[in-house]
Amino acid sequence: MGHKKYNSFLMEKTLLLGDEAVALGAIYAGLSGVYAYPGTPSTEITEFIQNNPLSKERKIHSRWCTNEKTAMEAALGMSYAGKRALVCMKHVGMNVCADAFVNSAVTGVNGGLVVLAADDPSMHSSQNEQDSRFYGKFAMIPVFEPSNQQEAFDMMSIAFDLSERLKEPVLMRVVTRLAHSRAAVEISDIKPENAFNPSTSRGWVLLPGIAKKQYAALIEKQPEMKAVAENSKFNRFEDGGSSLAVIACGIGYNYVKEAAENYGIKGLKILKISQYPLPEKAVLSLTKDCKKILVVEDGQPVVEEDVKRVVGDKAEVLGRLTGDLPRQGELNPDNVAKALGAKVETEFVQGKNLAARPPQLCQGCGHRDVYGALKEVITKYENARVFGDIGCYTLGALPPFQALASCVDMGASITMAKGAADAGLFPSIAVIGDSTFTHSGMTGLLDAVNEKANITVIISDNLTTGMTGGQDSAGLNKYEAICIGLGVEPEHVRVVVPMPKNMPEITRIIEEEINYNGVSVIIPRRECMQTLKRHKKK
């Protein structure tokens, strides 16, 4: 096969981040398009695909999307046309695309569709540690959870095949430790792209009459999904004979192996699980010889709850719910070893031996000037509140600015400012970034315009998606037109350049717009210092 040359180019083993293994696995599985919104720890997947020479040669579609919902829907469209599509996002992005995601299990798919969710236990860079496996269960579709980089690569091809066999989307869940650590990966043969083959099924039209049939068909597929998981090569036993059985899920398997090695724990009976629905027969078989089962899973106790249901009173189930493992945060070999009964004298604690160094906006960042001006103005008002959003500028909540009253989810700044203004708060101000505004702020602005809410919205435009490393911002050069198009009065859409020398002008404009009784938008615009440096270097 002509594609073999790439394997010899990559040689037998290649050192890859977990995210890169996912990306390369997708390319080698015959991917036609990746759709994504950047978010740590998933961003590197799409970047790897964008920069890989194979993607250019194979013309793999790989542009950033406006948000995770548009990404999911575009991927579904590519699948409808018969091609293989990948959607990537961080875990909270699953909340944004949930409508399309859950319904895609009801429509079914045509070309293979894999949804990649990168979870962030311990919240290294996130506002919660929700577990995406819940979404897979909720939508009733297969879920893959690689335990290492090799599995991440290998699973991609199998996930696409399974998606096409079942005609259902498939979810793959990774966690930060796997996404951002490297290991040697053996590369297999590359597959050709699917032929263009648009669906002719009526199942895509989710009118109630059709949706009922489609949902019945999804329920009918459940035994097959279960059988595939029971026989998956990614789910296997290691019978060391111990009376305590261990169910090790995804990266939890690595923690168990490392704990056993570090603390000399021998003869563990392990059921490794990396593919769902839960292989219930395999779980139940553990109760033949073991009356205690420890569930080791990084994230929320998704499997622990299920195992309790499956084994009933046949065995005691231990894990995060019983306090044998910490209820919150990432697992590590030390806390797993403790749960396995080892004597652990000094347990690893995240960041314990590091000097506290709170994150800060870069020196020279335009957001600093925005907050400097905003603070100067709002100190004059007793009840002024600034509702924040998600991006580098969330750091405005920390010293020296301490300017923000909230940061909840993408786009919430505008709608929260509106709600607070509805309740009588004045001045009610929103600060949102350019990329976050197009992601989820525009609809909230329309709500505010429709009710002539008395709010001032600051769209801090750094011409990129700064927090995740400088990806394209979907509304580049269109922000004034978008705001005016949504109904903001043109004379109340003001653009400023956030620089120390412009402080008097910026503070004057903020003051004027706060005192306008209606929706006003101020757009401080200056390029992110980091992307500016890169552009200058180029």
Q: Does 183 sit near ligand SF4 (CB under 6 A)? A: no
Closest distance of CB 361 from ligand SF4, Å? 4
Q: DSSP labels for 382-409? A: TT-EEE--SSGGGGGGSTTT---SB--S
CB of 37 to ligand SF4, least distance (A): 17
- Read off the DSSP letter of residue 209: H
Query: Taking CB under 6 A as the rule, does residue 529 contact ligand SF4?
Result: yes
Give the shortest CB-370-to-ligand SF4 separation in angstroms: 10
- In this complex, which beta carbon is closest to ligand SF4, that of residue 143 or of residue 370? 370
Query: Residue 131 or residue 461: which is nearer to ligand SF4 going by CB?
Result: 461
Residue 530 sits in the site that holds ligand SF4 (CB under 6 A): yes
Buried b (16+ CB within 10 A) or exposed e, 49-74: bbebebbeebebbbebbbbbbbbbbb
Phi, psi of 248 (to 5 degrees): -115, 115
- Based on the shown chain and the rule CB under 6 A, indicate whether residue 362 belongs to the binding site for ligand SF4: yes
- Supply the minimum distance, in Å, between the C-beta of residue 414 and ligand SF4: 20
Please identify, among the stretches 147-155, 263-271, 306-314, 528-536, the one whose residues bind ligand SF4 according to the rule CB under 6 A: 528-536
- Which range binds ligand SF4 by CB under 6 A, 145-153, 320-328, 362-370, 483-491? 362-370
DSSP string covering 242-279: -SEEEEEETTHHHHHHHHHHHHT----EEEEE-EES--
Closer CB to ligand SF4, residue 462 or residue 520? 462
Tell me, rounded to whole angstroms, the distance of Cα 293 from its chain centroid.
30
Output the six-digit token pair for 252.
């939890």
Q: From the CB of 473, what's the least distance to ligand SF4, in Å? A: 11
Question: Mask 141-170, x = binds ligand SF4 (CB under 6 A)?
Answer: ------------------------------
**Whole-Å CA distances, 467 to 64, 383, 409, 462, 524:** 15, 30, 15, 11, 17
For residues 272 and 367, which CB has a smaller minimum distance to ligand SF4 in the complex? 367
Minimum CB distance to ligand SF4, residue 477 (Å):
18
DSSP 3-state of 430: strand
Contact between 403 and ligand SF4 per CB under 6 A: no
Applying CB under 6 A, among 361, 373, 482, 506 the residue interacting with ligand SF4 is 361
Chain centroid, CA 256 distance in Å: 25
| Cα 345 to Cα 477: distance, rounded to the nearest angstrom | 57
Please, what's the b/e burial string for 251-269 (b: 16 or more CB within 10 A of its CB; e: otherwise)? bbbbbbbebbeebebeebb
242 touching ligand SF4, by CB under 6 A? no
DSSP per residue over 28-84, as a string?
A: HTT--EEEE---TTTHHHHHHHHH-HHHHHHT-B-PBPSSHHHHHHHHHHHHHTT--
Query: Is residue 466 at the binding interface for ligand SF4, with CB under 6 A as the rule?
Result: yes
| Shorter beta-carbon distance to ligand SF4: residue 306 or 461 | 461
Q: Segment near ligand SF4 (CB under 6 A), from 94-102, 131-139, 282-290, 523-531?
A: 523-531
Footprint on residues 285-314 left by ligand SF4 (CB under 6 A): none
Query: Which of residues 147, 300, 462, 520 is near ligand SF4 by CB under 6 A?
Result: 462
Core vs surface per residue 476-494: b (16+ CB within 10 A) or e = eeebbebbeebebeeebbb
**Under the criterion CB under 6 A, does residue 125 sit at the interface with ligand SF4?**
no
Q: Which of residues 415-444 bind ligand SF4 (CB under 6 A)?
A: none
The span of 149-157, 203-211, 228-236, 525-533 binding ligand SF4 (CB under 6 A) equals 525-533
Please tell me the total number of residues recorded for the chain in this structure: 538
Point out which residues pair with 294 in neighbouring strands: 246, 318
Q: Which stretch binds ligand SF4 (CB under 6 A): 39-47, 146-154, 401-409, 462-470?
A: 462-470
Torsion of CA 242, 248, 252, 253, to 10 degrees: 70
How many residues at the interface with ligand SF4, by CB under 6 A?
11
- 187 belongs to the binding site for ligand SF4 (CB under 6 A): no
Based on the shown chain and the rule CB under 6 A, indicate whether residue 528 belongs to the binding site for ligand SF4: yes
β-pairing, 236-239 with 269-273?
antiparallel
Q: Does the bond joining 277 to the residue before it have cis omega, within 30 degrees of 0?
A: yes
Q: Does 499 participate in binding ligand SF4 (rule CB under 6 A)?
A: no
Which range touches ligand SF4 (CB under 6 A), out of 259-267, 416-424, 461-469, 509-517?
Answer: 461-469
Q: Which helix (H) or strand (E) holds 445?
A: helix 442-450
Least distance CB 94 / ligand SF4 (angstroms): 25
Residue 365, interface with ligand SF4 (CB under 6 A)? yes
Q: Closer CB to ligand SF4, residue 359 or residue 424? A: 359
Per CB under 6 A, does 471 bind ligand SF4? no
Considering beta carbons, is residue 521 or 528 the nearer one to ligand SF4? 528
Which CB sits closer to ligand SF4, 397 or 529? Answer: 529
Three-class secondary structure of residue 438 per DSSP = helix
> Using alpha carbons only, how large is the chain's radius of gyration in Å?
25
Residue 458 engages ligand SF4 in binding (rule: CB under 6 A) = no
**Residue 473 in 3-state DSSP?**
coil
CB of 523 to ligand SF4, least distance (A): 15
Sign of CA dihedral 174, 175, 180, 186: negative
The answer to whether residue 392 forms part of the interface with ligand SF4 (CB under 6 A) is yes
Give the binding site for ligand SF4 (CB under 6 A).
361-362, 365, 367, 392, 462, 466-467, 528-530
